[in-house]
Amino acid sequence: MPMDWEEWQKSRQKRSSPPKNGGGDGEGPQLPNLSNLWKKFDRGGGGSMPSLWILVIFVAVIWLLSGFFTVEPYEKGLIKLFGKYNRQVEQGLRYHWPWPFESVIKVNYTQTRQFDVGGGARGLEEATMLTGDENIVNIQFMVLYKVDDPVAYAFNVYDPEKAVRDAAISAMREVIGRNSIDGALTENRANIQTDTKETLQAMMDKYETGVSIDNVELQDVHVPADVIQAFKDVTSAREDSERSVNEATGYRNKQIPDAEARAYAIVAQAQAYKAERVNRAKGDAARFLALLAEYRKAPQVTRERLLLEAMDATLPGAQKYILPGDGGRGVLPILPLGSFPSPPAADAAPEGGAPQ
């Protein structure tokens, strides 16, 4: 505790007064007379320097030596003059005016810093987020970043580490709010990480924090325990719906090609029938024109030829007799012209028997 000045003066006067009864010095250690010592020192008088001044000089030297500091190769030294940024120094042994004039802040600008969101005591509060389709999901993720601008990192934000953490949570909430719960749980995780990194970097640039975001990694995405059963029911219903849609799509994909094939076959048959009919009509017309030309050359012969061809076409399997002139006017003349065909085997008499 500091000594009471009045008590010390009384004690000094008591010790400096002549002893009673002509005795020696007073009891206890004698403090020097400071006024006399100062006068003696001021006149350049002899004698050793007082111990108080030695202490003052020693403290002053220690105070001046406290201004030396070392900056490592992976650090930047930021000098503050009366609490305000003054200059930046590189690696090596450096000096600044000791406190309270100047002070130094060392910033590691090569270290990759990281933090996890969603763990610890505040994990549930930080990790609970709302998706774009209004589902609750718990997300745990990790952020890796470096200090890109040491001056901005140290002086533009009061607590840069907390600022980066709060901004990361805000960026993740924003990105999750643009995605469905299915995308967050399954196929869209990579896009969520990329979008969160870009959003967080934009926020850091806007706030001028001097931070460069290296990566954002999703570690765990799951629904809260209180809604797991309801989520399972919804997922099961969605799977049933998707299965029904897939079955209907498969049936459609099967029926459409079959219908297209049948339609193509019908069209092909119709085209073939059309071609056949057209070609036949053209052939009939050509044949008629050819017959007409022959008929004009020999009408009688052509008429008889047409008659014979018509009879042959009308009775293709019958035996025909042609009687020229008047031979065919009666029926009897044609009876003995040829033998009748033998009777069928079923009408023949049995072997060794007489005909009936």
Domain ranges in the chain?
47-108, 113-223, 243-298
Whether the pLDDT of residue 116 is over 80: the answer is yes
Q: For residue 94, what are its two tokens? A: 């450096």
* Mean pLDDT value of segment 112-116: 87
Longest C-alpha distance within the chain, in Å?
Answer: 209
Which CATH architecture fits 113-223? 2-Layer Sandwich (3.30)
How high is the pLDDT of residue 270?
93
Measure the CA–CA gap between 78 and 84, rounded to whole angstroms: 10
> If you average pLDDT over residues 32-61, what whole number do you get?
62
Of 172 and 227, the structure prediction assigns the larger pLDDT to 172
| The pair of three-digit structure tokens given for residue 140, joined into one six-digit string | 């745990």
Tell me the mean pLDDT in the region 237-259.
88
pLDDT value for 265: 92
Arithmetic mean of pLDDT, 193-210: 90
46 Cβ neighbours under 8 A, 6+ residues apart: none
φ, ψ (nearest 5 deg) of residue 348: -70, 150
User: What are the beta bridge partners of residue 140?
Assistant: 220
Buried b (16+ CB within 10 A) or exposed e, 226-261: eeeeebeeeeeeeeeeeeeeeeeeeeeeeeeeeeee
**pLDDT band, very low/low/confident/very high, at 72 (cuts 50, 70, 90):** confident
Q: Distance (Å, rounded) from C-alpha 309 to C-alpha 304?
A: 9
Q: How far apart are CA 98 and CA 104, in angstroms?
A: 10
Q: Residue 105, Cβ neighbours under 10 Å: how many? A: 16
Of 104-113, 234-243, 295-304, 321-330, minimum mean pLDDT range: 321-330
Task: Give per-residue pLDDT as tens, 259-315.
Answer: 999 999 999 999 999 999 999 999 989 888 888 888 888 888 888 888 888 877 887
Which pLDDT score, from 0 to 100, does residue 339 have?
53
The pLDDT of residue 187 is 79
